[in-house]
Each structure stands twice: as structure tokens, then as C-alpha cells.
Structure 1
Amino acid sequence: MKNRHNHIWMIALAALAICIFATPQVQAHFPWLLLEDGNISPGRPLSWVIGWGHRFPLAGFMDGEELEEVLIMGPGGTQKIKDLSGIQMKSPSSLTKEGAYVIAAKKKSTFYTKTTEGYKRQPKKGLKNVLSSSLSHAYMKAIANVGDAGGKVDTVVGHDLEIVPLANPADLRPGDYLPIKVLFKGKPFKTDFLATYGGFSTEHNVFAYAASTGKDGMGKIRILAPGSWLIKVSYKIPYSDPEMCDTESFLADCTFEIQ
């Protein structure tokens, strides 16, 4: 399993030269955290890239400058990543305390306006021939484990839309269920969600699993295979000022590894 994940990571890095986030003409694209290794020994740093596109785990890549914030939350407290430039990022220091860690990232909120001449990264006010306009928010999480201590990963970060895993994926195997809770503005949220794993499909926007949360925000994903997994949820509401924008969209995802 480890060799398979490392192979995916090597392919991802090799693709950096040709698949780097560049233009906004891809409004439906979404970002995710892709760890080099989600299960590391004490004394090593965490490394990751930000995937970008429609196909998990390999598509395009987003530069860290597109991010507003990255946090590493674990037994040693919370670290805020100060250097967000570049494609490949890592923790500012090696992680020495064993246990479970949550890496949480927030993309800079961005206006995307579609016109007859293409996409613009700005509100629709003042533009001509507008077809649609949206303010986009995206939030990412990844679960990592250092050593064999395990631990809880149900940390609530405070993102507007958030997926909270209620079990440590390190304790799960194919056939098990991962319980989750979805929050919107800090409250339980009834919604549909999708999940998939690396190798399930090479097609765009194809997922292995679809389910819903209840009024209490609770749902569960059946683990179908080992490997890198992603859970994704999205939501749209009318924008508060229709002269500026039509809709406000929220996206959250969470990635983790199953042995």
C-alpha cells in the first residue's frame, strides 16, 4: 500500500511541470490537500501539494499563494504556516509528538464572473454581457498520523462549511464505515456529499460513493478500498447583493489514507 501511495506522489510531482494552476477559466474546479505520506514516523515533517481540478488525486496543482491560511493542529498545539508560496509545502518543523493531526487550509475567496468573452476574477458589476457570477469559498482538510499513538481527528476548525471526521481513518480498513459530521456556519447541516478514492476512475467528476447527512449533520462513508480518499460537500446560496454577484458557493473536502 505504501509503495502504491509513493508512486502516486512521484507521478504528482513529475506532473508539476505541465499541470500548474494558472487560470480562472475553470469555475467548477475544486482544491484538495494531497499529503506525500499521511502516516509518518516521529521526527519527520509533513509534505503536501494542493490538488486542483475535477479528478482526484491527480489533476492540476494550485500555488500556495492562492491560499489564505494553512493550519496544522495536533498534540503539540496549532502551527500556522507562514510561507504559502510555491507548489510543494511542508510543516515548518518536524513533528515529534505522536498522535493524530489535522491539516486545515482555506483558499482565498474569489469572485468568478462568466461573460460571453470568458471568465473574469471580479464581481459582475460594471461588466458587459454577463452570463453568471459567483463568489467562491473553498476549505480543505487532511488527516495525518505520527507514530502509532492514533487519536481523535474531530477537531472543529471553524470553516464556514466543514467536514468533521468522527473516527481516525488509521483505525479503519476496507469494509468499515467512517462516520462524519457536516457543519455550515458552525451548525449541523443536512446535505448530500460525495466520496472517492485514488484509482477508482480517471474521468472528471466521477465519485465512488454518494450519501446524505441527516438534520443532525451526521453521515457515514463505507470504505470500499485502501488508498487515498476524498470526501466532498458543496452548497450555494443567493448572494446578498445581486448587483455584485448572483450566488455564493461553499465547498469543503477532507482527504485521508486507508491502509
Structure 2
Amino acid sequence: MKRIPTVLIIALLFTASMAHAHSVWINAFESHAHGGHNAMVSLGWGHALPMDDILTSPNGRIAIEQFDLLDPALKKTKLLKPDFKVAKPELSNGDFDLFAADLGAQKIAMKKDGSQGVYQLSAVSQPTFYTQYIDKSGKTRMQLKAKSELKDIKKVLMAVKYQAFAKSCLTVGKWTDPKPLGHGMEIIPRTDLSDLHVGDLVEVDVLFYGKPLTATAKSIEYITAHSSSFGQSDGFCLMSYIMDGKAQFRVQSSGQWMIGASHKDDVTEDGPLKDLYGKAEQVYHSASLTFTVK
């Protein structure tokens, strides 16, 4: 039996870990009580909608670089962004540890004379580099730094950059298809998310650095979709291939839904990711889009 090269094992392990990794998403729950239009907004992190873990968990954490609200004309307003500091228990006893949680929870109260259309909520994580290498003394090391920042590399085993992007929408008045925000990876709805019912078809565009993703023999691109009321509790989801940047599925239940997608691309000296040449050899991005079905 042939031995699998160490570098291949590392690549496979990283790919597998990414497939089961935490996701980041935006919770946006709207209310029209008392004649107003409010939205309670927060960030989600982990595996289970609407809340699974804290963003600064010792077991897996993510730093949010940008958290914004964009109006229908794409004018950007910065939202309250959670602080990033690895959490330590505020209280600990023989039965449990108690952690404080900052999920960026805030209320957006729309004004009656405000702009009409689709507002987009956007969250972008801080880019993170992972470099695994053999140093000049022969030891295997892992650093959360770009390859170009390390001076004692003898052989690179893995050099990747990871970043996550999340979106949700608030509709004031009439729905119009939202414009791309320019995320590194982006899921753009092409269905009215403000009036979805069970059985409706949801269509989306999926872009990687502004260009449509598509399934090929080299890379099988797809979206997943699940809900707190469908698939999540049993550990499965719906899946749709991305062809020429487009994918679709039918919602199966009411409640909050999330569409997710991830993509790996190689960094080359003259390719679309050439600004990362020398820093990373591959880029892993993930994107999410959340919405509510009536």
C-alpha cells in the first residue's frame, strides 16, 4: 500500500475541517408591532440557528472586521461591532463555566419618512492566514501569519487565507433585487425574500470576487440551505449545484433559513488573487445569507 504524502494529508484534513467548520451569519428579526418597523439584529456563530456559540469562544472564535447596514443606494452605516478578546469564564464551578456574550445585538428602528427599498446587512470577518511549515531546524510549525512574514521556513506544507462574509436583508416598502456589495464571496438573492412562503423557489447568484462561480470538474461548487425547522436538528441540509453563478432550491418549512457556500481557489502570480502571491498559496472563503419564511 502506497503511503499518502504528508502534505496531501494536511490538505485533506484542512479541507475536511473547513467543511465542518463554524459558520458566521446575521440574525435579522423584523417587527411591525404598534405601527412601527423595527429589526432586532445580531451575529450568529457556530452550527445552529439562531445562536450556537459566542464569537470569542476558546473553542473556536472569529473577529468581525466590518458590520454595516447599507441603504438601497448602498450608502453605508457602521453598526455596533462586537469587541474581540478571547473569552474567559466570568464564573466557574463544578458544574459549568459562565461566559459573557457580545453578539452585536442592536435594534434598527426604521423611520416612516426614510428611504424605501431593500437595506442590506453585511458582516465581514478579519482575514486570517494559516501557514504550516518545516523550519530550518527540521521542526513542523503552524503560525497564524502569512507565508511572507515568516523567516525560518525550510519547506511550506500549507499556506492559506480564510475569510467569511455574511448578509441579510430588510425590506422597506417594495422589494427590488439588491446590488452586489463587493464581498470576496457573495450570495445575492434574486427572489423576493420579504414575502416567502413554504414551497416557494429561492434563486440566488453566487459570486467570487465579482465573477460567477460555476461547478466544474476541478471544483464542484454548490450551496447548502437549512433552517432551524428543517434539517438542522437532524444534521442535514438541502444542496444545489452552482451553474454559471446561479443556484436555487424550494423552502420546506417556515422560520429562519440560511444559505451557505464555500470556495477554495489557488493563488497564482498573474491570476485574480495575485495580490496574495507570496503570502498564501490558497484562499478559502465562505458566505452566508439569512432570511425568514412565513
Could you state the TM-score of these two structures normalised by the residue count of structure 1? 0.73
Secondary structure of 2:257's partner?
A: strand
Partner of residue 19, structure 1: none
Contact kept, 8 Å, 1:49 with 1:61, in 2: the verdict is no
Partner of residue 8, structure 1: none
Contact kept, 8 Å, 1:195 with 1:207, in 2: the verdict is no
Contact kept, 8 Å, 2:42 with 2:104, in 1: the verdict is yes
Aligned amino acid, residue 257 of structure 1: T
CA displacement at 1:126 relative to structure 2: 4.6
Contact kept, 8 Å, 1:161 with 1:250, in 2: the verdict is yes
What are the Cα deviations for residues 86-121 of structure 1, in whole angstroms up to 9, with x where unaligned? 422336x62113543211121111113468999642
1:22-61 equivalences in 2 (<5 Å): 28-35=21-28, 37-40=29-32, 43=36, 45-61=38-54
1:12-31 equivalences in 2 (<5 Å): 28-31=21-24
Contact kept, 8 Å, 1:38 with 1:256, in 2: the verdict is no
**Distance in 2 between residues matched to 1:56 and 1:119, nearest whole Å:** 32
Match of 2:202 among 143, 156, 178: 178
Match of 2:223 among 171, 175, 193: 193
2:198 counterpart of 1:166: no
**Distance in 2 between residues matched to 1:188 and 1:143, nearest whole Å:** 21
Contact kept, 8 Å, 2:24 with 2:166, in 1: the verdict is yes
Partner of residue 90, structure 1: 106
1:139-150 equivalences in 2 (<5 Å): 139-146=165-172, 149-150=173-174
Q: Which moves more between the two structures, 79-88 or 183-192?
A: 79-88
**Distance in 1 between residues matched to 2:198 and 2:292, nearest whole Å:** 11
Could you state the TM-score of these two structures normalised by the residue count of structure 2? 0.65
Partner of residue 23, structure 1: none
CA displacement at 1:196 relative to structure 2: 0.6
- Structure whose alpha-carbon radius of gyration is higher: 2
Q: Which moves more between the two structures, 171-180 or 61-70?
A: 61-70
CA displacement at 1:227 relative to structure 2: 0.6
**Distance in 2 between residues matched to 1:119 and 1:233, nearest whole Å:** 26
Contact kept, 8 Å, 2:72 with 2:178, in 1: the verdict is no
Q: For residues 47 and 118 of structure 1, do their structure 2 counterparts lie closer, same or farther at Cα, with a shift above 3 Å needed?
A: farther
CA displacement at 1:134 relative to structure 2: 1.9
2:71 counterpart of 1:74: yes
Secondary structure of 1:154's partner?
A: coil
Contact kept, 8 Å, 1:46 with 1:94, in 2: the verdict is yes
Question: How many positions carry a matched residue from both structures?
Answer: 227
**Distance in 1 between residues matched to 2:106 and 2:177, nearest whole Å:** 20
Percent identity reads: 22
**Distance in 1 between residues matched to 2:192 and 2:52, nearest whole Å:** 27
Secondary structure of 1:202's partner?
A: helix
Match of 1:108 among 122, 126, 151: 126
Q: Which moves more between the two structures, 190-199 or 74-83?
A: 74-83
Partner of residue 22, structure 1: none
Q: For residues 127 and 221 of structure 1, do their structure 2 counterparts lie closer, same or farther at Cα, with a shift above 3 Å needed?
A: farther
